[in-house]
């Protein structure tokens, strides 16, 4: 099974000491439901939608402003903001010196996003950086003129752009192809857990249906029974893990979403308590105690998103800035967690791993 490829098409390739083979690229899937309009149109109806040009702001003596829209109930955790600032610095923008960042996150839940997006529009920020399909869709509904840069799981499936090479509207950024990766992680679980037959997936319904749809298709081909449980709020994590345990799930597949990523510590702790092996999107989650992770490099995704944001601040139009995709995926295995679960990681998996936490 080919698990490994280079990281970003615009970035130099780096291989770890346990790097796996390079695998074929899988195109992004379509079919994710669009963002519902009626739920929040009344909240943004009064918001100004005129962009504030960088040149006009500079002429008035102010520095350009990035409005960061984050759908979780707490600010982005390491390494997100640190990596974003690194990408800006690499593009000559230093926060507090020649660029400002206005962070808005959904303390009251995703339903607060339209209100926060409207705030950023009224503030006349120069560009909006949105984390995830939901936040990007809400921002796009709030303004058709302020540029939007985003990291999404399935940017075409979410209906945010016309094509990867020429987005065509006011949205561009990085898409991480979460549906394909969510399916691929089932194969990794099968290779790690002997006799695997029942898997539970944690799913954020605000991220659309494409991850669940592709994972269900992969489960059928692998002869696995897949149970998909929705997690909409922090309070849903414990009941979902209890349901996985009660259904005798042999493994847990945590789908990608900013919300689920922000809850990774709770998920890792409960998975350990209920002795359910779990696979995650980001290496940071395996390093924090999760059994295994498989996905692109989180820090690299945020750095590259910042570089794209800087291009827009310097005058590039999102319609003409191609959406980038990761081409390298990292496999990280936590052997300490495996021993605690009574699992022996097969040597073939360890050989493919970029990092083994011992």
- Nearest C-alpha neighbor of 1 from the set 203, 187, 127: 187
What b/e sequence results for 96-108 when a residue is b if at least 16 CB atoms lie within 10 Å of its CB, and e otherwise? eeebbbeebbbee
Where are the chain's structural domains? 41-176+298-320, 178-295+329-357
3-state secondary structure of 174: strand
- Nearest C-alpha neighbor of 175 from the set 191, 188, 157: 157
C-beta atoms surrounding 339 within 10 Å: 12
Rounded Cα gap, residues 195 and 283, in angstroms:
25
Q: What is the CATH number of domain 178-295+329-357?
A: 3.40.50.2300
- Residue 275 in tokens: 């002795």
Give the pLDDT of the chain (358 residues) as one tens digit per residue. Answer: 434 333 444 333 333 333 333 333 333 333 334 434 444 443 443 333 333 344 344 434 589 999 999 999 999 999 999 999 999 999 999 999 999 999 999 999 999 999 999 999 999 999 999 999 999 999 999 999 999 999 998 999 899 998 999 999 999 999 998 999 999 999 999 999 999 999 999 999 998 899 999 999 999 999 999 999 999 999 999 999 999 999 999 999 999 999 999 999 999 999 999 999 999 999 999 999 999 999 999 999 999 999 999 999 999 999 999 999 998 999 999 999 999 999 999 999 999 999 999 9
Using left for φ > 0, alpha for ψ between -120 and 50, and beta otherwise, residue 196 falls in beta
The pLDDT assigned to 35 comes to: 39
Can you give the three-state secondary structure of 83-138, one letter per residue? HHHHHHHHCCCCECCCEEEEEEECCCCHHHHHHHHHHHHHCCCCEEEEEHHHHHHH
Rounded Cα gap, residues 244 and 250, in angstroms:
9
* pLDDT tens digits along 137-183: 999 999 999 999 999 989 998 999 989 999 999 999 999 989 999 99
Can you give the three-state secondary structure of 273-294, one letter per residue? HCCCCEEECCHHHHHCCCCEEE
**Strand pairing class (251-254; 278-280):** parallel
Rounded Cα gap, residues 321 and 275, in angstroms:
45
- Answer whether 66's CB lies under 8 Å from 139's CB: no
The pLDDT assigned to 62 comes to: 83
List alpha helices for the chain, DSSP H.
41-44, 54-59, 80-90, 113-122, 132-142, 178-192, 210-221, 237-246, 258-262, 264-273, 283-287, 298-313, 335-340, 347-352
The pLDDT assigned to 14 comes to: 34
The pLDDT assigned to 90 comes to: 98
Judge whether 41-176+298-320 and 178-295+329-357 match in fold: yes
Cα dihedral 103, 108, 110, 113 sign: negative
Rounded Cα gap, residues 93 and 99, in angstroms:
6
pTM of the model: 0.82
The pLDDT assigned to 152 comes to: 94
Instruction: Please tell us whether the domain made up of 41-176+298-320 is placed in CATH 3.40.50.2300.
Output: yes
**Strand pairing class (225-230; 127-131):** unpaired
Distances (CA, A) of 319 to 109, 276, 306: 30, 44, 17
- DSSP letters of 247-266? TT-SEEEE---HHHHHTHHH
Cβ within 8 Å of residue 50, ≥6 positions away: 124, 145
């Amino acid at each position: 099974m080919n698990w490994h490829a280079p990281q970003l098409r615009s970035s130099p390739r780096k291989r770890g000491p346990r790097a796996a083979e390079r695998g074929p690229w899988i195109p992004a899937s379509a079919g994710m439901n669009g963002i519902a309009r009626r739920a929040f149109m009344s909240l943004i109806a009064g918001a100004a939608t005129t962009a504030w040009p960088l040149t006009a702001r500079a002429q008035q003596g102010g520095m350009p402003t990035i409005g960061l829209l984050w759908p979780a109930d707490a600010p982005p955790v390491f390494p997100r903001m640190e990596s974003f600032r690194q990408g800006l610095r690499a593009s000559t923008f230093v926060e507090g010196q020649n660029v400002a960042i206005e962070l808005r996150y959904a303390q009251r839940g995703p339903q607060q996003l339209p209100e926060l997006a409207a705030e950023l529009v009224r503030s006349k920020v120069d560009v909006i950086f949105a984390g995830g399909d939901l936040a990007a869709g809400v921002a796009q509904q709030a303004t058709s003129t302020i540029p939007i840069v985003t990291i999404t799981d399935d940017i075409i499936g979410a209906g945010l752009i016309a094509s990867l090479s020429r987005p065509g509207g006011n949205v561009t950024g990085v898409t991480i192809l979460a549906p394909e990766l969510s399916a691929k992680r089932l194969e990794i679980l099968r290779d790690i857990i002997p006799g695997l037959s029942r898997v539970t997936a944690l799913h954020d319904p605000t991220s659309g249906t494409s991850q669940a749809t592709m994972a269900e298709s992969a489960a059928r081909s692998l002869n696995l029974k897949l149970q998909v449980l929705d997690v909409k709020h922090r309070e849903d994590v414990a009941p979902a893990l209890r349901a996985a345990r009660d259904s005798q799930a042999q493994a847990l597949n945590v789908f990608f979403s900013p919300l689920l990523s922000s809850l990774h510590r709770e998920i890792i702790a409960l998975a350990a308590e209920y002795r359910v092996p779990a696979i995650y999107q980001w290496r940071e989650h395996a390093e924090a105690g999760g059994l295994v992770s498989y996905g692109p490099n989180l820090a690299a995704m945020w750095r590259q998103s910042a570089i794209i944001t800087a291009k827009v601040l310097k005058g590039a139009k999102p319609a003409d800035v191609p959406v980038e995709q990761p081409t390298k995926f990292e496999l990280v295995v936590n052997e300490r967690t495996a021993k605690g679960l009574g699992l022996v990681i097969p040597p073939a998996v360890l050989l493919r791993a970029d990092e083994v936490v011992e």
